[in-house]
Amino acid sequence: MGVLMSKKQQVEKVQKATAVVSAFQAGVKDRQVVAKQAEPDAEESEGPAKPSANAEEKTTEEAEQEETDNSAGPSTSAQASASAKDECKVNQEAWSRLRDGKGVEPEDLDKSHQLTPPAFVRPKREADDDQPVEVELEKKEQPTGDEMCDVCEVWTADDLYPCRICTRVFHDGCLRELGYLRAEALQEMRDTAHTVTGWSCYYCDNLNLLLTEEEMYSLMETFKQCKIIPESCLVSDELLQYRHFASKQLFDKDLTDEQEEEVLAQFAALDPEKKGQIEWSDFLYYESLAVLRKLRSENSLVRLLTGKERDKARSVFLGLALDKDGVISRAECRQAQQSWFQKLNKDSQSCNVSISHVGPICESSPASSGSERSNESRPVTWADFLKESAIYILAARPNSSAMHIRLPL
């Protein structure tokens, strides 16, 4: 019987080799420290033979001390400059992580993990991306989950936790060693992954990874112009300032009082726990959805859905089309779109209050236009239902309880 070596075993071999090298380097440093400590002892033993040398050293030290005292001002300035450079470096690293799709990397994450996080690759739009895609209503796809952990490629049966969006499965230990999930997030995964609510893996939870390089560059430029600091929380005043700037850039006008109230309602929807600030990840996902809704066609959004999401959409549509004529009403369509977010309201009623007040995520939002109300009587086919619901299905991916999109009224 052959022996299979998993990724984890290969990583462990590399780690052992690294540990040996580190130990060797530490030994070299220790020897250097011992040698430096031995030098003063040697000088002390030669002290009586070289009094003039000691006098010269003392004079030199006094001169250096005097120079230090005289240059206190410039030294403080140099420290301030160094601090500014460090802050700039931190921001640059944050922008780099954002560009590469790695999203949030809070300081309180455990950095002692041993496994190397995966390199994310942003998608590219194909030539037929905006063309209609045929998704059959009667034929369920029923994608099966992977058999081996996506991190270590080892099968351990019941110890694997599935993603509710894609077919990947994970060990909780592997996710902990990657350092992507805090302790509370890991516990949430253990509690929900095998339930109807389900759990989104770190690929599917991050809506920003749906953007192409070009779309991400455009979003980053907007952030930089608005002086948004990546990986930082935003308070309501900062969100208002950001919206005012965006309105000036796009429409050359300030927000009206009504629009300001809408922004504050959006803030409340992104802060369901009423902390007085919104997390960077929620703000990023909100803005990423705005980019998708603005730059992508409905057909393009349908192509982003996974087999599991399409199957759920089928079940919802067939549950509403009870007369088997293949169409549902506009009201039923809105009801179905709201059903994607039922998982978010399982523990809190505060979200229900803010849902009806959340403003559209962009000026061209269909939910904010009069054309939506004028088509109340128009029946909705399966193809139309899937196209109109795609953005809501995507918005329901994150594990966060924040509302990243306006629900249809």
pLDDT of residue 236: 92
Tell me the two tokens of residue 336: 């179905």
Contacts of 81 (CB under 8 A, 6+ apart): none
Given a contact cutoff of 8 angstroms between Cβ atoms, the answer to whether 346 and 175 are in contact is no
Q: Which of 196-210, 337-351, 380-394 has the lowest mean pLDDT?
A: 337-351
Distance, first Cα to last Cα, the chain: 62
The pLDDT assigned to 116 comes to 66
Angle at 123 between CA 145 and CA 305, to 5 degrees: 45
pTM higher than the cut 0.95: no
Residue 57, pLDDT score: 47
CA-CA distance, 223 to 217, in Å (whole number)?
A: 10
pLDDT (0 to 100) of residue 377: 66
pLDDT of residue 399: 93
| 269 has a pLDDT exceeding 70 | yes
Phi, psi of 385 (to 5 degrees): -60, -45
User: Tell me: the pLDDT tens digits for 340-360?
Assistant: 876 544 443 333 323 223 333
Per-residue pLDDT band for 265 (boundaries 50, 70, 90) equals very high
Using pLDDT thresholds of 50, 70 and 90, give the confidence band for residue 103: very low
Q: Angle at Cα 115 formed by Cα 109 and Cα 116, nearest 5°?
A: 85
How far is 32 from 16, CA to CA, in rounded Å? 25
Which of 196-210, 297-311, 313-327 has the lowest average pLDDT? 313-327
Q: Which residues contact 382 (CB under 8 A, 6 or more apart)?
A: 135, 137, 317, 326
Q: Give the range with max mean pLDDT: 72-81, 344-353, 384-393.
A: 384-393
pLDDT > 90? residue 407: no
**Predicted confidence band of residue 58 (pLDDT cuts 50, 70, 90):** very low
Q: How many CB atoms lie within 10 A of CB 324?
A: 6
Greatest extent of the chain over all pairs of C-alpha atoms, in Å: 109
Residue 351's pLDDT is 34
Answer whether residue 113 shows pLDDT above 70: no
In the numeric block, which tokens belong to residue 385? 């239902």
* Nearest alpha-carbon partner for 372 in 318, 327, 331: 331
Bridge partners of 234, per DSSP, are 278
Q: Compute CA 245 distance to the chain's CA centroid, rounded to the nearest angstrom.
A: 24
Q: What CA–CA distance (Å, rounded) separates 272 from 199?
A: 19
Residue 141 near residue 118, CB atoms below 8 Å? no
CATH number listed for the domain at residues 207-295: 1.10.238
Confirm if 338 and 407 have CB atoms less than 8 A apart. yes
